[in-house]
Chains A and B, each alone.
Chain A
């Protein structure tokens, strides 16, 4: 298992290296320059600035310098945000984004699993139809529409939670719900399909034949087996939450990282774009690694090394 994880971490670094390189060159094709009022600047001023930020060097040299710095954990300084180091910028703004993202994933997966399981157990009843209806709503309503609806009803009309701003835990609830709808709907749909299959399987029949009550068959045998494929979709979904959070953050005026990302692209703030891309990729590959390890824990057949034995 350790060997496996070490190998996976090596691939993880390789992936990040490739992502960093590709982004670096792609970014240089972005139209425009980092200077917002270029028209008013003298060519000599631009030359000085270019010199300062190393933008006058050949592309290849810029690349080598950047990658060298990256190895030392230095993501450069932002052009746009008061020359702050990019690492500091990310560290400062990541908190709220991570919080609502994680909360949304947990709420979405847990409720989704429950909803899907109940739908499967009550297959072809009104409960099942209800669950399907919720799933379809969750998948088809965009998070920004849901966000506004939540704001209107729970923030403005009922005044249960703040409409916007980032102050305490209660201000994270509405954005969390807005973000959780999509993973909830997806997980529920998947879970239902899986669980219907599992409940129809031979080992469930045999578990009943052993005298397990319906409840025990589900908690001891069906749930765990149904979870195996569901885990696969959690990784990609976490990514969609990360990108989705950008819009939701804006609607709730949350000082999150999504906003930074958009700003940095609009202003050609190369170090920030690079830094955030690498950071997002890092999150993604780590999540995928965690999902794979989780897989092994839940499904003994995928446990690696020594033919399944640890």
Chain B
């Protein structure tokens, strides 16, 4: 079995708002293997960003961790001192943020910004750090990187800025790279370039990536494993094949079904009706109950546990209970599952 770099267990986070305490993350557990890319998928507000910000310990003042551990290199990140955290951040765990237009300091030239992690973590001289920054900038595909070291962020396009942010994140060879929707703010062609860059870099420096997105197309492209989040909980996780071809949770069905495909002959997009529940008073049972047309009565009353689908694949839905009635998933999902079966049989031959 692959070595775990990061192990998140039973993480729960509350945050205080004027309307009351929001239970934003509820008993989230997942792990990250060495060298793999794990995608965290879910709609806005499902808690993806808060989860990874907790790994970086970059929580806002009104957020409290109520339970859980995050094991990294044999130590619990949640118990590290401020000083230790400064060492981990940007050195061993680095982050790429969502909006490249606002993620760079507008008043500092990019050379200095990219070199900063080396200065902080390796105590490198300014000259040497800048030299290395130029190399990394070239590596991430900034043309004429050397001449542009003294330019400021506003002199670069959005895609280039995201490359600079990536350069900043990888310059100190982190063990874990957290990419928080790194392509959401970019247009589609640039998206593809950035994804390719991330994949290349991952192979090159052997880092593990947690990739947050709500774009399933991107997931298929980059991830090894996928965890689907809904209303502050993980509802299903497995390999990319598990999730794309053999999804079990009705929420995952809904997500996949709302992805447009070329063969679609209707000009309407499928959507999941309704909105996520208010997490100030999270529902007693399955949070997806209200929007789930396959919901069972028990979904309303009791949280579903994780049911094992295969060694790599788990889903939290009562539909997987032995006593549950058989339901027929949407047509597109059936097609996916049929293909999955076919593949499985091919593997056995």
Interface set of A (CB-CB < 8 Å, partner B): 124, 201-203, 205-214, 216, 220-221, 224-225, 228, 298-301, 307-309
Contact = CB atoms under 8 A, between A and B. Distances in A.
A209 B108 contact: no
Nearest to B109: A300
Given A211-B120, A300-B106, A309-B155, A205 B89 contact: no
A294 to B, nearest CB: 13
A211 B58 CA distance: 11
A208 B117 CA distance: 10
18 contacts: A202-B102, A203-B103, A203-B104, A206-B97, A206-B165, A207-B105, A209-B97, A210-B89, A210-B117, A211-B88, A214-B82, A220-B108, A228-B107, A298-B107, A299-B106, A300-B107, A301-B154, A309-B155
A124, A224, A298 pick with most chain B CB within 10 angstroms: A224
A208 B89 contact: yes
B86 interface: yes
Given A211-B86, A300-B152, A309-B151, 16 more contacts: A202-B98, A203-B104, A205-B58, A206-B97, A206-B104, A208-B58, A208-B89, A209-B95, A209-B97, A211-B87, A213-B86, A213-B120, A221-B108, A224-B108, A298-B107, A307-B155
B99 A202 contact: yes
Interface string B82-123: 100011111100110111001111111100000011001100
Nearest to A213: B86
Chain B binding surface SS class: loop
Nearest to B95: A209
B99 A211 contact: no
A309 B154 CA distance: 11
Contacts of A220: 108, 116
A55 B95 CA distance: 76
B56 interface: yes
B132 to A, nearest CB: 14
B197 to A, nearest CB: 18
B82 to A, nearest CB: 8
Name the 5 nearest CB pairs between A and B, nearest first.
Answer: A211-B90, A210-B90, A300-B152, A209-B95, A202-B102
A301 B106 CA distance: 8
A209 B88 CA distance: 9
A72 B154 CA distance: 46
Contact of A209 (B56, B82, B105, B155): B56
A225 B117 CA distance: 20
Contacts of B108: 220-221, 224
B168 interface: yes
Given A202-B103, A203-B103, A206-B103, A212 B86 contact: yes
A205 B97 contact: yes
B180 to A, nearest CB: 10
A191 to B, nearest CB: 16
A202 to B, nearest CB: 4
